Structure 1
Amino acid sequence: MRVDDWLKDSEEVGPSWLTVDLAIFTLRDDQLMVLLIERGLDPFNGMPAMPGGYVQKDETLRDGALRELAEEAGIDGSQLHLEQFGTYADPGRDPRGRVVTVAYLALGPNLPTPVGGTDAARAFWAPAARLEDGALRLAFDHQTILTEALEEVRRKLEYTAVATAFCGETFTLRDLRTVYEVIWGQPLDPSNFRRKVLNTPGFVQPTGDQWLPPTGRPAALYRRGHAWLLNPPLLRAATSGQRG
C-alpha cells in the first residue's frame, strides 16, 4: 500500500499513525552489523527492535528518520547513505493500533558505538547473521523488515555503487572487495574483482595516493566515482537457493 493511498483512506479505516523505522548497517571488524535498540516502553518492553518512531506533523519522512536516529542511538545520520526501501502496513503489525511505517536503509563506514536515548533503554550493534539464523527475536514485524532490508542491500551491491557507502572517503580495492565478501558471504577472486571494478565506468576514481601498510606492498587509493548504476553489474555467484 502506498503512503499517499493510506493518507487518503485514513478517515475510513479509523485512527492511524505514520512512523519511520531504520535498517542501519555498517561493517565493524569485517562483520556486517545492524543497529538495534532495546525497547524501554510497552509494547514489547525489553525486546530488541529497529530504531524508529512517529513522524511529527511538521517534518518530512527523511527528517523524522534522522531525528529518530539521533534521539534513539545518538548517531548523526546526515552523512549516511539514506534511502526509503519499503512501506509496511499490515493491520496487526502494532498492538497499539493501525500503524503504517516507512522503512529506510541507512549505510555507513565503521559507525560509532551507539548511545540509547528517549524510549530506547539502550542501543547496540548486533551481527546481521543473527537475523538469519533466528538467534534474534525482534519486536513488531522488524524481523521481516530487516531480513528484506538485508536482501535489498545484497541486491543493490550488484547493480549500484552502494558498496562505497561502507568505505571511507578513500579506500583500497581490497577494502571494497571486503564489503562484497562480507555482505554476500562468499569469497571473491582478487584479480577478477579488480578487473571488473576498474572496467566498470565511473565506479571508482583513483586518487593518485597510496596506502602504505606496515609490511607489504603499497596499495592504490580510490574514491567513489560519478556513476551510481553499474554497467555491467557485478553479479553474485550462484549458491543453493539463490540465483547468480
Structure 2
Amino acid sequence: MDETDFLRGYDPNAFQRPSVTVDLVLLGVRNGKPAVLLLKRDQQPYQGRWALPGGFVGIDETLDAAAARVLREKAGIGHAHLEQLYTFGAVDRDPRMRIISVAYLALLTETAFDAALQAMPALLPAAIQVPWSGEAGGPVSVVSPENGALTLAFDHADILATAVLRLRGKLDYSDVGFALLPELFTLRQLQDVHEAILGTSLNKPAFRRRLLDKGWLAATGAYEAGTAYRPAELYRFQRP
C-alpha cells in the first residue's frame, strides 16, 4: 500500500481530537513593576473572571497566525515581540472539554501598553506580584488598581508564572529585555526594566559594565529632554 492508498482509506475520526487555543501574555513594565493586560470573560465558564486574551485556533490557521489574530482583534495591537511560551495541556484545565493551550509571550513597551488600553477600553492593566526570587518558580498573583487581588480564569495564573520565569531566565543571555523599551532609552531605563522583571535591585556600575561589555548598546550622542535634572545620554540596541 502506498501513501495515496493509505490516506484514501484513513479514518480521521479514529482518534479523539482535542481543541487547541492560544493565550497571550501581554506584558510590559509600568510604574516599576511588571504588568499584564487582561480581559473580563463575558460568558461561561468563569464568567466575570479576568483572563488572558485568547481564542481557538482555526482548522486552517497556524498557531502563529492565531496568536497574531488574537493580538490584533482582542488587544488592538498590530505588532509586538511575540514568541511561543509553553504548551499547557492538563486534562482538566478547561471544564468544557479537552483543550490544549499554546501560550504566547507578547512584550510591550510602555507606549504600546498604553496604546492598547486606549484602543481597547475593556482591557485591564494589572500589576504582577511575584513572591519568589530568582528562577525558583511558583505562583504569582495580579492586582488591579480598582479591584485589588484578582482570581484569574482557567490556569492563567500558572501561565503568568511561566512567563515571568521565561523572562528572568533569558534576560542575561538574550536581547529580550529590549522589547520592553522604546527604540532610544537611557541606561537608567534599561536597569529599571531588569530590576522590575528580576524583582531585585542591581548594582549600577556592575550592571552597566556588563551590558556595555556585551556589545548590545550603541551610544547615540543624543540626550533625553524635559528632565528636571541632568539629562542622560540615549542608547539604542545593536546586535554584536
TM-score of the aligned structures, taking structure 1 as reference length: 0.79
Amino acid in structure 2 at the alignment position of 1:218: P
Q: C-alpha separation between the residues in 1 aligned to 2:101 and 2:81?
A: 19
| 1:178-211 per-position Cα deviation (integer Å, ceiling 9, x unaligned) | 001111111112222111111112x222222222
1:102 matches 2:102: yes
2:236 equivalent among 220, 223, 226: 223
Q: C-alpha separation between the residues in 2 aligned to 1:146 and 1:185?
A: 15
Question: Corresponding residue for 1:242?
Answer: none
Contact 1:37 1:116 in 2 (8 A): no
Contact 2:109 2:180 in 1 (8 A): yes
1:69 is displaced (CA, Å) by: 2.1
Question: Corresponding residue for 1:132?
Answer: 140
Q: How does 1:56-135 map to 2 (within 5 A)?
A: 56-76=58-78, 78=79, 80-110=80-110, 111-112=113-114, 113-114=116-117, 122-129=122-129, 132-133=140-141, 135=149
1:214 is displaced (CA, Å) by: 2.8
Structure 1: which 5+ runs fail to align? 1-9, 228-244
Q: C-alpha separation between the residues in 2 aligned to 1:191 and 1:116?
A: 39
Q: C-alpha separation between the residues in 1 aligned to 2:164 and 2:117?
A: 20
Q: C-alpha separation between the residues in 2 aligned to 1:50 and 1:144?
A: 11
1:149 is displaced (CA, Å) by: 1.1
Amino acid in structure 2 at the alignment position of 1:122: A
| 1:50-103 per-position Cα deviation (integer Å, ceiling 9, x unaligned) | 110101123221121121122223233x1x111001111111111111111111
Amino acid in structure 1 at the alignment position of 2:81: H
Q: Which moved more, 1:160-169 or 1:210-219?
A: 210-219
Contact 2:141 2:157 in 1 (8 A): no
Question: Corresponding residue for 1:194?
Answer: 208
| Higher-Rg member (1/2) | 2
Amino acid in structure 1 at the alignment position of 2:163: A
Q: C-alpha separation between the residues in 2 aligned to 1:214 and 1:85?
A: 38
Q: Secondary structure at the match of 1:56?
A: coil
Structure 2: which 5+ runs fail to align? 1-11, 131-138, 143-148
Tell me how many residue pairs correspond in the alignment. 212
Question: Corresponding residue for 1:237?
Answer: none
Q: C-alpha separation between the residues in 2 aligned to 1:209 and 1:129?
A: 35
Contact 1:72 1:115 in 2 (8 A): no
Q: C-alpha separation between the residues in 2 aligned to 1:222 and 1:47?
A: 41
Question: Corresponding residue for 1:207?
Answer: 220
1:31 is displaced (CA, Å) by: 2.2
Question: Corresponding residue for 1:170?
Answer: 184
1:109 is displaced (CA, Å) by: 0.7
Amino acid in structure 1 at the alignment position of 2:51: A
TM-score of the aligned structures, taking structure 2 as reference length: 0.81
Question: Corresponding residue for 1:147?
Answer: 161
1:18 matches 2:20: yes
1:147 is displaced (CA, Å) by: 0.9
Q: Secondary structure at the match of 1:159?
A: coil
Question: Corresponding residue for 1:181?
Answer: 195
1:14 is displaced (CA, Å) by: 1.8
2:38 equivalent among 23, 36, 39: 36
> Could you tell me the percent identity over the aligned residues?
39
